[in-house]
Each structure stands twice: as C-alpha cells, then as structure tokens.
C-alpha cells in the first residue's frame, strides 16, 4: 500500500499539510535560545485563542496521554478524592490515572451513553478534589456536556480537569467561560500537526493546588513547566522535541489563517455530512443522546450493519486506500468510526462515503448505490 496515496480518515493522527512537514526539516537550534523562546511564545499566543483562555499554557513533549497524566498527577494527592466520568475508552484512561494518583470515585457509564448529571452531582456532594471529563469521547463518537459539568464542579469547589484532545481546534471550547481548571489537547488531532506534543492550560486555582502535592510526577510536572514558562526567556524544563515545535507553530499558523469560526463550521458540516449519508444508507449512529449530549463533530461512530463486522468494514476500506477506525475493547467489531478532523475536506468525506457505499454494495447490504454520497454532498455544498 502506497502511504502517500492513502487517505487517513481516522480520529487521529490526521494528514499533515506539506508546509508543516517542510517546517520539520529546519536546522536544530539551541532549546535555551531566544529563537526557541520565540517559537514557544508564538505557539502559546495562538493556543490561547484556540483554548479561549487567559490561563497559562504549557507544551509538553509527549502525547495527549502525557498531558492527561500531567493534569491529574500535578494536582491530585494520594488522599484526594477524584470523580472520574467514564463513557468511553479515554474516560477509562482518566479513571486509571485518577486511581494511580488519588482516591478514585468512578462514575462509570456504558460507553456511548450520555453522562447522568444527577449522579455526578450526588458524587460531588460527598466532596471531591477534582472531576475529570473527556469532552469529546472519540471511542464512542459522543460530545459530553462540559459547560454543565463545569458548573457542577464550581458549585462543589472541585477542580475541573478536561481532556479536549479531540475537540480543541475543531469545535467550540471555552476554557475560561466553562470554568475548566486544566484542559489538555494533543497535536495530532484537530490541530493537524504530527503526534508527540500535548498542550495544557492551567488556571490559577490549579496552580495553587499544586503547592499541596508532595509527590508530583517528574517529567510531566506542570509546576515545573509553569516555572520554566514564566522565565523572562520562556523555555521548557526539559529538552523539547524541536522539530515537533516547528511543525506545531506552522500548523497553528494554518489554524489562525483559516480562523476558528470557519474551522469549527467546517468540522461541524463535515460530520453532519457523514451523519446524513448514514441516515440515507440506514446505518444507525452508535451514541445515545440526551438533552445535554451531542454527536461528536470531529468523529462519527456508527453501528456495524447486521451481517457485517465492523473490523471487516475497516479492512475492506483499507484495501481501497482509506483508513478508518473500528471499535475499541468490547466495542471491537460492533462499530466503525470515520474521522473528520484536522484539515479534512469535503472531497475527503465524499471519497470515504463513496468507498463505503461500494463496500456495502459488494457485500449485498446496499441497493441504492450513490444515495449516501448525494446526501453528504448536499451538506458539503454549503461549505
């Protein structure tokens, strides 16, 4: 399979623009130099607009999971109660981190089901140092109600720690307005940079909470990152992945050039196009929604049609040069997922739907070949 001719339509990593790839080929520089400080400052300035925050922002050389561990480990002590909301794979990851660093109080929900805010409030009423949430749970294609959860966290004086790895840069995220104390984003999702960097915003309340923690992580200690970021010439506490910073800076310039309003609209319409095509093909969306939850606007999760395994759909799409995602853990084989994040275009979506129609038609599961593409095109034509 020719990788250059392969279309990545999974929920990250996503295709990277040629100018971003070229940026990584620039010569190495001293990471304690004014040159690197200028790159770091430029990235943080643009990220502040993406996060919609006035809080401090640090950039960690590590994946989004490094940012998640930094968020929990830097403010949670062994006796601190942490309410962790799980309705998907990455909520489970936050739960595992909470159990590692603190006193876990899990709020476990069937993957793809909406968050029960009443049960969350019952958990918070008994006291909690923090509550963790995955805003956009890509494993199940569901968007969780961050604003409402932020209000509950504030009501009960709990730190609000949010994984925005697959929403920041592609959908509406208002860190300050929602009261998010620590928000995390990964480079390889909606920002469309290569994998390997995690960006974390930290509120004053979160910074103050760090002072009470005697055993914070070493490499992903947010207090150390803030200290280095506060220097007259900003830097990271440890050697950064310089080529990835070059790439991130270029990717953020693309974000700035497009504008967040236009970028959010594009992400939303591409996901709407996927959903429209699925409705035409009688394929059921996987998540179950309530008044507070929504379908994800960066990845769509669908139930595998009867008679065809989700992994088989994934394999057949791969044969035809398009990489989509399957289900994780107990959802493997039961669902398939199509990403629409980063620099995805209407052509990418239409090509993916057309190929999916071909697969379903060949398997004898689709008669009206072309109806799905037509439904998607009616949406993308509005872009």
66 and 150 belong to one structural domain? yes
Same domain (yes/no): 191, 299: no
What confidence score (pLDDT) does residue 1 get?
A: 62
Same domain for 98 and 29: yes
Q: Are residues 272 and 172 in the same domain?
A: no
Q: Tokens 């971003």 correspond to what residue?
A: 20
Locate the DSSP E strands across the chain: 7-8, 56-61, 81-86, 103-108, 130-134, 136-137, 142-143, 159-163, 182-186, 197-202, 294-295, 299-303, 322-323, 325-326, 335-339
Q: What is the mean pLDDT of each run of 10 residues along the chain (383 residues)?
A: 84 96 97 97 98 98 98 97 98 98 98 98 97 98 98 98 98 98 98 98 97 94 96 95 98 98 98 98 97 97 96 97 97 98 97 97 90 96 89
Strand partners, 133: 162
Same domain, 229 and 286: no
CATH code of the domain covering residue 92 = 3.40.640.10
Residues 102 and 128 in one domain: yes
Q: Residue 181 burial by CB count (10 A; 0-12/13-18/19+): exposed, middle or buried?
A: buried
Tell me what pLDDT residue 115 has.
Answer: 98
Q: Which residue has tokens 């996927």?
A: 274
Structure tokens at 294: 């929504």
* The dihedral sign for the CA sequence 130, 50, 199, 212: negative
Domain with 357 in it: 3-12+259-380
Helix, strand, coil shares, percent, the chain, to 5: 45, 15, 40
Q: Quick check: helix, strand or coil at residue 178?
A: helix
DSSP string, 207-255: HHHHTT-SS--STT-HHHHHHHHTSSS---SS---HHHHHHHHHHHHHH
**Are 80 and 106 in a shared domain?**
yes
Out of 213, 228, 256, a domain closes at 256
Give the pLDDT of residue 120. Answer: 98
Residue 219 pLDDT: 97
Q: What is the pLDDT of residue 244?
A: 98
User: How far, in Å, are 61, 134, 180 from residue 203 at the CA level?
Assistant: 21, 18, 8
| Domain total of the chain | 2
Q: What is the value of pTM for the model shown? A: 0.97
Same-domain check for residues 105 and 229: yes
**Burial environment of residue 103 by CB neighbours within 10 A (0 to 12, 13 to 18, 19 or more):** middle
Q: What is the pLDDT of residue 3?
A: 73
């Amino acid at each position: 399979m020719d990788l250059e001719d392969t279309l990545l339509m999974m929920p990250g990593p996503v295709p990277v623009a040629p100018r971003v790839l070229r940026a990584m080929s620039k010569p190495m520089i001293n990471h304690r130099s004014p040159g690197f400080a200028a790159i770091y400052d430029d990235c943080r300035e643009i990220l502040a607009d993406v996060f919609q925050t006035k809080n401090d922002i640090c950039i960690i050389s590590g994946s989004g999971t490094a940012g998640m561990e930094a968020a929990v480990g830097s403010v949670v002590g062994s006796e601190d109660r942490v309410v962790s909301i799980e309705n998907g794979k990455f909520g489970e990851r936050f739960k595992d981190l909470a159990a590692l660093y603190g006193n876990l109080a899990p709020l476990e929900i069937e993957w793809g089901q909406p968050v029960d805010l009443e049960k969350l409030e019952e958990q918070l009423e008994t006291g909690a140092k923090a509550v963790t949430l995955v805003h956009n749970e890509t494993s199940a294609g569901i968007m969780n109600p961050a604003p409402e959860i932020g209000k509950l966290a504030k009501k009960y004086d709990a730190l609000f720690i949010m994984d925005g790895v697959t929403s920041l840069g592609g959908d509406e995220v208002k860190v300050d307005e929602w009261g998010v104390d620590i928000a995390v984003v990964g480079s390889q999702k909606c920002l469309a940079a290569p994998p390997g960097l995690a960006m974390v915003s930290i509120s004053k309340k979160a910074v103050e909470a760090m002072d009470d923690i005697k055993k914070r992580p070493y490499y992903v200690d947010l207090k150390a990152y803030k200290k280095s970021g506060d220097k007259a010439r900003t830097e990271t506490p440890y050697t950064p992945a310089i080529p990835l910073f070059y790439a991130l800076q270029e990717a953020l310039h693309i974000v700035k050039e497009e504008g967040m309003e236009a970028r959010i609209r594009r992400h939303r319409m591409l996901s709407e196009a996927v959903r429209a095509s699925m409705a035409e093909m009688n394929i059921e969306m996987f998540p179950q929604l309530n008044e507070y939850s929504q379908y994800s606007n960066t990845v769509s999760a669908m139930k595998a049609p009867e008679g065809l395994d989700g992994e088989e759909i994934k394999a057949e799409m791969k044969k035809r040069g398009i990489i989509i995602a399957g289900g994780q853990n107990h959802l493997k084989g039961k669902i398939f997922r199509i990403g629409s994040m980063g620099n995805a275009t209407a052509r990418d979506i239409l090509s993916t739907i057309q190929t999916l129609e071909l697969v379903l038609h060949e398997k004898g599961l689709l008669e009206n070949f072309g109806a799905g593409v037509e439904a998607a095109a009616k949406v993308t034509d509005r872009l």
